[in-house]
Amino acid sequence: MMSSLLTSLLGLSIGMRHALEPDHLAAVSTLATEHKSARAGLWLGVLWGVGHSLSLFIVGGGLALLEAQMPAQLALVFELLVAAMILGLGLRAMVRSVREGRSGVWSTHRHGQTTHSHSMPGAHLHLRSWTFATRPLIIGVVHGLAGSGALTALVLAELPSISARLLYIVVFGAGSIAGMALLTGLAGLPLMRVARSPRLASMLLGVTGCVSSLVGLWWGFDSGARLLAG
């Protein structure tokens, strides 16, 4: 009982810290700056964490049950996929920053039979729930695939039983959901103020896009070099 409790606490704390790694922050920050509200930020973090945890549990849990490890080359391919995704998000954010400029976010939607477009604050942006949900969910799934190999190697090396390994993976995932939700939810508070100034909001989106692009390039270069060396 005590061993399971310690395993749970350890997995939860490491999972929360894991959510704050640079590649995770770079990917989610570009989405958070587009929505600019505490509620939207909170749900972005939750959805990222759910996708991340789903990959970890399915792939990492399956490997743990089989007592197998992910091939190193495959893990590097997943890391390259993460790098490409982060770079793409960064470039997208920079393009939006330039396009929106001083006018702010433009929204196209319908009122009855009338369809029209107009500038509006980012906090009031009309965005379909399906679009809002799928982006962070998919980003989380890809990040989870890239991290499954390392997590499986850890639980196989440190934990003696299958039940303990699966428990650790579950609570690790819960910690990553909590950590990212807390971070993006808190980030939404100052972003609500930023959204009142279209020019400032555009500048922030451009900065996060630049940072995300640099992280993606660095991550891709490092993963590609290791893949070619292997």
Query: Considering the domain boundaries, does residue 117 fall inside one?
Result: no
Q: What DSSP assignment string belongs to 183-210?
A: HHHHHHHHHHHHTT-HHHHHHHHHHHHH
Residue 105: phi, psi to the nearest 5?
-75, 135
H or E element that contains 119? strand 114-120
Count structural domains, the chain: 1
Query: Considering the domain boundaries, does residue 136 fall inside one?
Result: yes
3-state SS, 123-177, equals HHCCCCHHHHHHHHHHHHHHHHHHHHHHHHHHHHHHCCCHHHHHHHHHHHHHHHH
Query: Considering the domain boundaries, does residue 118 fall inside one?
Result: no
d(CA 127, CA 120): 12
The answer to whether the beta carbons of residues 85 and 55 sit under 8 Å apart is no
Domain that holds residue 156: 2-101+129-229
Cβ partners under 8 Å of residue 42, min gap 6: 181, 184, 185, 188
Query: Considering the domain boundaries, does residue 34 fall inside one?
Result: yes
Nearest CA-CA partner of 219 in 59, 94, 89, 85: 85
Tens-digit pLDDT profile for the chain (230 aa)? Answer: 445 666 666 666 766 676 667 777 777 777 777 766 777 778 888 888 899 889 988 998 888 888 888 888 998 999 999 999 999 989 988 888 887 765 555 555 555 566 555 555 444 444 455 556 788 888 889 888 888 888 887 787 778 888 888 888 888 888 888 888 888 878 777 777 776 777 787 888 888 889 899 999 998 999 999 888 87
d(CA 221, CA 203): 27
Query: Considering the domain boundaries, does residue 120 fall inside one?
Result: no
Query: Considering the domain boundaries, does residue 53 fall inside one?
Result: yes
Query: Considering the domain boundaries, does residue 112 fall inside one?
Result: no
Q: Identify the bridge partners of residue 111 per DSSP, sorted by sequence position.
A: 114
pTM, rounded to two decimals: 0.78
Query: Considering the domain boundaries, does residue 208 fall inside one?
Result: yes
